[in-house]
A and B are shown apart, each in its own frame.
Chain A
Amino acid sequence: MTAAPESVTTTDDASDASAVPDTTRTSLLRFATAGSVDDGKSTLVGRLLHDTKSILADAYEAVERVSRERGSEEVDLALLTDGLRAEREQGITIDVAYRYFSTPRRTFILADCPGHVQYTRNTVTGASTADALVVLIDARYGVVEQTKRHLAVAALLRVPHVIVAVNKIDLLDYAQGPYRSIAQHVQSHAESLGLPNVITVPVSALNGDNVATRSESTPWYEGPTVLEILETVPSIDQGADEFAAAHRHGVAHPTAADAEAAASGWRFPVQLVLRPQDAAVAEEFREYRGYAGQVAEGTVRVGDEVVVQPSGKRTTVAGIDTATGPLEAAHTGQSVAIRLADEIDIARGDLLSSAEDATSASKKFHAHVAWLTDRPLRVRDRVLVQHGSATVQAMVASIDGILDISLPGGTLDSSIKPGHELLLNDIGVVTLQLAQPLAVEDYGKHRRTGAFCLVDPQDGNTLAAGTARAHVPGTGEDTYVSI
């Protein structure tokens, strides 16, 4: 009998469609992997996909076949994400692979990042959108330079949750000792970087111990599996709102940061001015004028008082529109159009914010930048700053220091050595002078409006990831020079 063409309803184990999470309801968590080359990131990701039954039969067979062709007896789960020809030839990850899976509790977008120092820019890419970062460490070698670099990136980007998976414990006979000392080392290093609540887990990505299921080989470990942690941590966009919701029901134990996030105002970068005129979908909208964007932070309500930056003008929210009808309020992450009570000159690149806890614009600010390109960054270099929906010309006023990741117990503030230029993969403190004012805020308090990237004005390439700082120790200067 020849194999029949695939009919899509044949398997019995999956016939229970009700077990499939309803993505119209479950929340989304984005996470990324990090850690030194060969520490087992892609294998861990493959294991998570495998153990959550997220790999479809033909994809698994393809990986099985390729593993076999390479003379390996075991299925190399890393091949599930190492999809480029060059990656498979070299057995390493070069660029981020995005994969999607879900459990009954949550939907996940995962970014499997490279470990090789040469591809740090891709790891920064994957980590920048992550709610959680899973940092792998090879238990045989412990914390190495690249682990420190990636932890520094996590601190720079303030990835809300860092999980350290101490991997390959099968090669150390599941002994407790090495895990304990690595976990301790990680905790003290993370603390000095200002990374709170780092969770460590002993795992074997290869065998699946403590990845999605609890291991019988580590009776000395009583904590959660990697998957359990990922299923329960709050996500960035939902953190504040979720906190508020939980708090209403009296179940949360708020931290100071949570309380601040829940209490702060809102931010809304204007992407486009919607003025349909002749292109209106109906005659009644000919004279419509609204500002299209995505709520970057907080909750916008009709009637809220608004400050527009950089002009500093004030007005109120007259309406919040979507194609399916008006809203009374729009929350973090929603894409809407805002109508304002007064006709003010507003263009793409402007930032609307609540008058309460308002933004202010300035032409100079300090920032940490992760320099991601081969040529160095020097004082007086001209760059473009891309911030929210705005792009402005800028000049590097000064390079105030470079992070020395080799210093023991180094922090993003204290381990700064002097330097005149940033080289590939350096994290440095710089001061930027802008041609036009921007409402850049402290990244620690306002993630969306504190983040920016630097772009080459000539070829348009992205050069660096930047996070604005309110205050730089030692300079005695506040970030924002008011205009």
Chain B
Amino acid sequence: MTDQTTAPARLSTLDSLEAEGIHIIREAVGTARKPVLLFSGGKDSVVVLHLATKAFWPGKVPFELLHVDTGHNFDEVLEFRDRTVERLGLRLQVAKVQDYIDDGRLRERPDGTRNPLQTVPLLDGIAEHKYDVVFGGARRDEEKARAKERVVSLRDEFGAWDPRNQRPELWNLYNPRHLPGQHVRVFPLSNWTELDVWRYIERENIELPSLYYAHERDVFQRDGMWLTPHHSVRVRDTDQIVKRTVRYRTVGDASCTGAVESPAITVSDVIAEVASTRITERGATRADDRLSEAAMEDRKKEGYF
């Protein structure tokens, strides 16, 4: 860190965003009975975790992590997730979509994607562990329904978000109060853009799963995206498998998360690429958001992230 006595008093955008994120995390923990961070190993949840390590330093992060595992995750990401949890000495709870499918509580969808199936294990996990404050890495710039959500967002007994009846959120006075059975979702990165996240990753030298950087991989085209052969994807005879240099802009369910062709090997390559891209992050890589005009809003109303 630079010598603050000579540094200019004004905070840069990244400094402001970092300070705001830390403030939000501390505020939520200050009022929570049992907080938890939804941690997938994706870049946004990694950044939230990084902010949390700063917020409570020189103490450890004082909450558990929860991952909703679709069973369709990339091995590299799961390995990274476990290594990160181990490094920080934290406790990880995993809610498995596969368990729900095995015992019939959930059924596989015809299109094979499991992203929408995460809601039930997520809500069960929250109820089972009695979490009252649930941190997530969602950003308002990701999607038009997310653009409408409060930093501290109330969820009812069914985990549902009511976009037409949100509480006022005034200044930086966040209100996490809720009745028994309800909980709040807290989004410390609400005001960050994809580019802010990458610049911060660069500045703070934050490690990410290797999938985020360019690598050579077997891929095939589906719905205008590059998918990779994975146990979760039914590769058809007509699918032409080719080798391409790709990277992932988001890491999620391998059956519906697409890679993009990219030569970006380093963080600064990625920053240059994100800065000049003309396609949104989810538009480029998420089939589940293409289901309908209000796909995200509908999922959020049901209790999704």
Contact = CB atoms under 8 A, between A and B. Distances in A.
A455 B54 CA distance: 30
Contacts of A294: 19, 22-23, 172
A64 B257 CA distance: 25
B260 A5 contact: yes
Contact of A6 (B22, B279, B294, B297): B279
Interface of B: 1, 3-5, 8-20, 22-23, 26-27, 29-30, 53-60, 62, 140-141, 143-145, 147-148, 150, 163-164, 166-173, 175, 177-179, 190-191, 193, 195-196, 199, 203, 221, 224-226, 249, 258, 260-263, 271-280, 283-284, 293-294, 297
Interface stretch (A197-205, A321-329, A434-442): A321-329
9 contacts: A83-B148, A88-B293, A98-B147, A125-B168, A285-B59, A288-B59, A324-B54, A461-B177, A465-B171
Interface residues of A, number: 102
Given A58-B279, A274-B59, A299 B171 contact: no
Contacts of B55: 292, 335
Contacts of A461: 167, 175, 177
A226 interface: no
A62 B3 CA distance: 47
A15 B260 CA distance: 17
Given A5-B260, A455-B177, A460-B175, A280 B13 contact: no
Among B3, B23, B272, max chain A CB count under 10 A is at B23
Contacts of B164: 84, 86, 94-95
Nearest to B260: A8
B262 A7 contact: yes
Contact of B27 (A58, A62, A389): A389
Contacts of A386: 173, 175
Contacts of A330: 4
A294 B19 CA distance: 7
Contacts of B258: 5
Given A324-B1, A327-B1, A453-B168, A95 B276 contact: no
A334 B276 contact: no
B30 A272 contact: yes
Among B177, B199, B226, max chain A CB count under 10 A is at B177
A85 B163 CA distance: 10
Given A85-B294, A461-B167, 10 more contacts: A14-B277, A23-B14, A85-B293, A86-B164, A274-B56, A274-B58, A276-B58, A388-B173, A459-B179, A460-B179
Nearest to B178: A460
Interface of A: 2-11, 14-17, 20, 22-28, 56-59, 62, 66, 80-81, 83-86, 88, 94-100, 107, 109, 121-122, 124-125, 128-129, 237-238, 241-242, 244-245, 271-272, 274-276, 279-282, 285, 288, 292-294, 299, 321-325, 327-335, 337, 348, 372, 386-389, 448, 451-453, 455, 459-462, 465
B301 to A, nearest CB: 10
Given A24-B203, A56-B279, A322-B1, A331 B11 contact: yes
Nearest to A274: B59
A238 B4 contact: no
B145 A335 contact: no
Contacts of A109: 191
A328 B59 contact: no
B13 A28 contact: yes
Contacts of A15: 276
B1 A325 contact: yes
B246 to A, nearest CB: 9
A275 B190 CA distance: 29
Nearest to B58: A285
Given A129-B172, A335-B18, A14 B276 contact: yes
A107 B17 CA distance: 12
A84 B258 CA distance: 26
Contacts of B11: 27-28, 237-238, 331, 333-334
A8 B170 contact: no
Contact of B273 (A9, A83, A321): A9
